[in-house]
């Protein structure tokens, strides 16, 4: 399908792309939350917590439910048994050692100053103030008197004392104990004097900081893992067992069993609302992210995003109602067909999968989800290459048959009785498959028109020669019409060679020159046997007339309300080409300066592969008519020359044609033109045949 920029008031309101896209997302989110919460509104509640039961509730089947309270307590006990995990911080140990190094460096400097003949007391005071540790005066005095070798020994001893306690880890709450260990370890160093031992102990104790800290996140994860290993406690209810008696107060512990038996559906709670909100946000984000990554033309069009949201939300809302009648009535195939035809097949598959998953969750029925997924997938494949309205009917029959077959399979697997099989298969399955397809067919024309989408079906309808514009082109500019048909054939072959939209190229070529309807005699293909009016005009005026067929074409496109996807071919197939014949003619005749811009088409250059292909085919087809005796070699030479010139002149800079694409385009055009200009037997005319025929007759008469 092809996407236009809609001309409606709504489209103009969406000019602010970001704001409009955000509005659509919020609208989809809010509506989705509303749809999801419909089943939890108070009107559907049968029993309420804290109120008496309205009847006896007896189990009709064996039910296993998780005892949340027992499970929670067991998991809490398991988590509490996991000790706090501590993390070692090497930077803390390094910080302690750096403080020791800095302390001894300053002390050594102070000792050097004191040993001088006239110590600078002010400088000593400054050095003392820079000490990173608050040392006792007697310790500072002891260190200041020590010789450099003694200071070095004391520093190493202090490192030893620190490392002894740091290797086992020091926490905030064990800091005092670690300092006591430092003192005990120092008492064993008898090779040091008591003053030196005390100095080393004081420095190590002051420098010591905690180097292990509680790792709360690791502890949390370990406790969570321990809790998750605990198997849930289950409560088993046997058939016939009384779950709750009439008049008994319904408690929280009764809810799981009541829900499993279908006797209770809770009111909408804040927790439920948050859950639905998260689910809605996830669905909206997933679809939007997929569209942005893989279907950018949908993501970049606010109208198409609105269409996508409208289809999904409408089908979802209808499904929530219809599945209360039968789980097999969800019209997922309708969404699959509409999105597949109007937007994109891969996007339709994603939506089908998400909607089918939702149906399974909402109904609690895996068969319902599988049937919806199968039918939706078949619907997407069936409409993948739909080109005619009749193809939609065939696709609808295929969807109908698939739905019946899928429902029949699960009805048989479910061991339903004959009545149930007939009801589910023929009535619900057949009804859903048929109505889903019919609704899609009926909604398609309206959605095409309202959202400005041009499908292949519409393109084929527009390619009919009886279309008003094409009929006028045929009758008023027959040469241009034949040229357009030939360009369409070439463009279709070239588009197929590079994987572009071949049908769009062909139909776009049919309409690319409709502007020539206004002044057909001014274009050479319509001048058979007539005087060329350009012979009596100035080159500048002739160029203006030639260029104006683009403006005239755009006016006709608006007049006949052609889709914009086709309108783009009118200006882009010429791009900013130069009307070289009249430009050079003007330069040769005029003594005044001639400006090249006055002889160029206004553009824009081709913005898509399809319009670029038509530009190349238009020029090559016209040029091939001028060849005196076209051969395969001459045609290939012409094609290569014109394509290479278009690349050199920058006419293809704004479209995404690759060099490989251009090679494939050249080959396709060479084959197609060669088949068009194939050699023919030259037949003699009647005058040449007459003497031969007369001689044969005479011979026959004589023989007779």
Q: Which helix (H) or strand (E) holds 175?
A: helix 175-187
**Rounded to whole angstroms, how far apart are CA atoms 217 and 228?**
16
What is the end-to-end Cα distance of the chain in Å, rounded?
A: 73
User: What number of residues does the chain have?
Assistant: 704
CB 314 within 8 A of CB 351: no
Closest alpha carbon to 483 in 519, 515, 518, 512:
512
Q: 558 pLDDT exceeds 60?
A: yes
* Location of structure tokens 């292990």: 212
pLDDT cut 90: percent of the chain above it? 30
CB 340 within 8 A of CB 380: yes
Closest alpha carbon to 21 in 287, 242, 302:
302
Read off φ and ψ for residue 7, nearest 5 degrees.
-100, 10
**Rounded to whole angstroms, how far apart are CA atoms 8 and 641?**
44
pLDDT of the residue at 620: 94
Read off φ and ψ for residue 118, nearest 5 degrees.
-130, 90
Closest alpha carbon to 306 in 14, 37, 8, 3:
14
DSSP string, 460-495: HHHTSTTSHHHHHHHHH-HHHHHHHHHHHHHHHHHH
Q: 11 pLDDT exceeds 60?
A: no
Distances, alpha carbon 126 to alpha carbons 129, 525, 641, in Å? 5, 102, 87
Closest alpha carbon to 258 in 43, 42, 56:
56
* Residue 63: strand pairing partners: 237
* Residue 249: strand pairing partners: 52
Neighbours of 398 (CB within 10 A): 18
- 119-133, 172-186, 546-560 — most confident range: 546-560
pLDDT digits (tens, 9 = 90+) for 462-478: 999 999 999 999 999 99
Closest alpha carbon to 617 in 480, 490, 503, 508:
490
Averaged pLDDT, 311-332:
86
**Rounded to whole angstroms, how far apart are CA atoms 243 and 18?**
55
Q: 423 pLDDT exceeds 80?
A: no
Handedness of CA 187, 189, 191, 197 (dihedral sign): negative
Tell me the average pLDDT of the chain.
81
* Location of structure tokens 């050079």: 584
- Does this model's pTM top 0.85? no
CB 430 within 8 A of CB 400: yes
pLDDT digits (tens, 9 = 90+) for 208-254: 878 777 778 888 888 888 888 888 888 777 655 777 877 788 877 77
CB 124 within 8 A of CB 132: no
DSSP string, 399-448: HHHHHHHHHHHHHHHTT--HHHHHIIIIIIIHHHHHHHHHHHHHHHHHHH
What does DSSP assign to residue 52? Answer: B
Neighbours of 174 (CB within 10 A): 16
Pairing of strands 2-3, 234-237: unpaired
CB 487 within 8 A of CB 672: no
Say which residue, 550 or 86, is predicted with more confidence: 550
Contacts of 25 (CB under 8 A, 6+ apart): 284, 288
Averaged pLDDT, 686-698:
49
Sequence-distant contacts of 113-122: CB under 8 A, at least 24 apart: 114/144, 114/145
Contacts of 174 (CB under 8 A, 6+ apart): none
pLDDT of the residue at 314: 93
**Rounded to whole angstroms, how far apart are CA atoms 688 and 674?**
30
**Rounded to whole angstroms, how far apart are CA atoms 599 and 616?**
20
Q: Which helix (H) or strand (E) holds 553?
A: helix 539-559
Q: Is 620 exposed, middle or buried (0-12, 13-18, 19+ CB in 10 A)?
A: buried
**Rounded to whole angstroms, how far apart are CA atoms 340 and 363?**
26
Averaged pLDDT, 353-363:
86
Q: 427 pLDDT exceeds 50?
A: yes
pLDDT digits (tens, 9 = 90+) for 438-454: 888 888 888 888 888 88
pLDDT digits (tens, 9 = 90+) for 524-533: 888 877 788 8
Averaged pLDDT, 155-169:
82
**Rounded to whole angstroms, how far apart are CA atoms 222 and 150?**
49
**Rounded to whole angstroms, how far apart are CA atoms 447 and 334?**
13
Could you tell me the pLDDT band of residue 703, with boundaries at 50, 70 and 90?
A: very low
Domain spans of the chain?
A: 2-40+269-458, 86-209, 474-479+512-676
């Amino acid at each position: 399908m092809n996407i236009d920029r809609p001309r409606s008031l709504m489209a103009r309101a969406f000019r602010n792309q970001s704001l409009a896209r955000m509005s659509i997302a919020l609208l989809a989110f809010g509506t989705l939350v509303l749809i999801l919460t419909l089943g939890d509104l108070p009107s559907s509640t049968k029993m309420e917590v804290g109120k008496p039961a309205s009847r006896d509730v007896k189990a009709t089947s064996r039910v296993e439910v998780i005892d949340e309270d027992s499970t929670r307590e067991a998991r809490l006990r398991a988590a509490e048994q996991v000790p706090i995990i501590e993390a070692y911080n090497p930077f803390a140990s390094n910080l302690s050692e750096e403080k020791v190094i800095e302390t001894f460096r300053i002390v050594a400097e102070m000792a050097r100053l004191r040993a001088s003949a006239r110590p600078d007391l002010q400088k000593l005071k400054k050095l003392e103030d820079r000490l990173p540790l608050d040392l006792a005066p007697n310790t500072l005095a002891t260190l200041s008197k020590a010789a450099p070798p003694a200071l070095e020994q004391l520093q190493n001893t202090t490192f030893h004392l620190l490392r002894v306690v740091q290797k086992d880890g020091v926490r905030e709450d064990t800091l005092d104990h670690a300092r006591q260990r430092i003192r005990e370890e120092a008492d064993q160093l008898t090779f040091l004097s008591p003053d030196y031992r005390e100095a080393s102990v004081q420095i190590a104790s002051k420098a010591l900081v905690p180097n292990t800290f509680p790792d709360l996140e690791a502890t949390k994860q370990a406790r969570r893992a321990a809790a998750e290993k605990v198997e849930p406690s289950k409560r088993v209810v046997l058939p016939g067992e009384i779950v709750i008696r009439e008049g008994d107060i319904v408690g929280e512990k009764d809810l799981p069993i009541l829900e499993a038996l279908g006797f209770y559906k809770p009111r909408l709670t804040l927790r439920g609302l948050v859950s639905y909100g998260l689910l809605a946000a996830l669905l909206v984000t997933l679809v939007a992210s997929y569209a942005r990554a893989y279907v950018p033309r949908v993501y970049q069009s606010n109208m198409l995003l609105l269409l996508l949201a409208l289809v999904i939300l409408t089908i979802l809302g209808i499904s929530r109602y219809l599945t209360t009648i039968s789980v097999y009535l969800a019209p997922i195939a309708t969404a699959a067909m509409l999105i597949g035809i109007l937007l994109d097949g891969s996007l339709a598959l994603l939506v089908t999968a998400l909607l089918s998953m939702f149906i399974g969750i909402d109904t609690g029925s895996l068969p319902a989800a599988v049937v919806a997924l199968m039918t939706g997938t078949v619907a997407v494949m069936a409409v993948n290459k739909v080109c005619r309205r009749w193809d939609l009917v065939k696709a609808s029959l295929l969807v109908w048959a698939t739905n019946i077959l899928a429902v029949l399979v699960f009805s048989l697997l479910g061991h339903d009785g004959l009545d149930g099989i007939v009801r589910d298969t023929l009535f619900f399955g057949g009804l859903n498959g048929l109505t889903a397809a019919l609704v899609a067919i009926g909604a398609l024309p309206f959605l095409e028109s309202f959202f400005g989408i041009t499908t292949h079906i519409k393109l084929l309808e527009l390619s009919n020669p009886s279309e008003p514009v094409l009929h006028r082109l045929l009758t008023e500019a027959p040469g241009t019409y034949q040229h357009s048909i030939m360009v369409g054939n070439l463009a279709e072959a070239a588009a197929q060679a590079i994987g572009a939209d071949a049908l769009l190229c062909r139909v776009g070529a049919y309409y690319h020159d409709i502007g020539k309807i206004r002044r057909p005699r001014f274009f050479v293909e319509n001048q058979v046997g007539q005087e060329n009016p350009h012979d009596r005009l100035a080159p500048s005026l002739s160029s203006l007339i030639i260029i104006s067929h683009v403006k005239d074409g755009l006016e006709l496109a608006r007049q006949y309300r052609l889709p914009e996807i086709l309108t783009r071919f009118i200006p882009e197939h010429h791009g900013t080409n130069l009307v070289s014949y009249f430009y050079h003619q003007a330069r040769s005749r005029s003594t005044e300066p001639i400006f090249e811009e006055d002889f160029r088409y206004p553009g824009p250059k081709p913005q898509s592969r399809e319009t670029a292909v038509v530009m190349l085919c238009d020029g090559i087809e016209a040029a091939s008519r001028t060849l005196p005796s076209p051969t395969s070699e001459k045609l290939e030479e012409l094609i290569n020359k014109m394509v290479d010139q278009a690349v050199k002149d920058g006419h293809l800079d704004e479209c995404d044609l690759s060099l490989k694409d251009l090679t494939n385009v050249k080959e396709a055009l060479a084959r197609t033109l060669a088949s068009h200009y194939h050699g023919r037997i030259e037949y003699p005319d009647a005058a040449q045949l007459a003497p031969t025929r007369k001689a044969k007759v005479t011979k026959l008469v004589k023989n007779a």
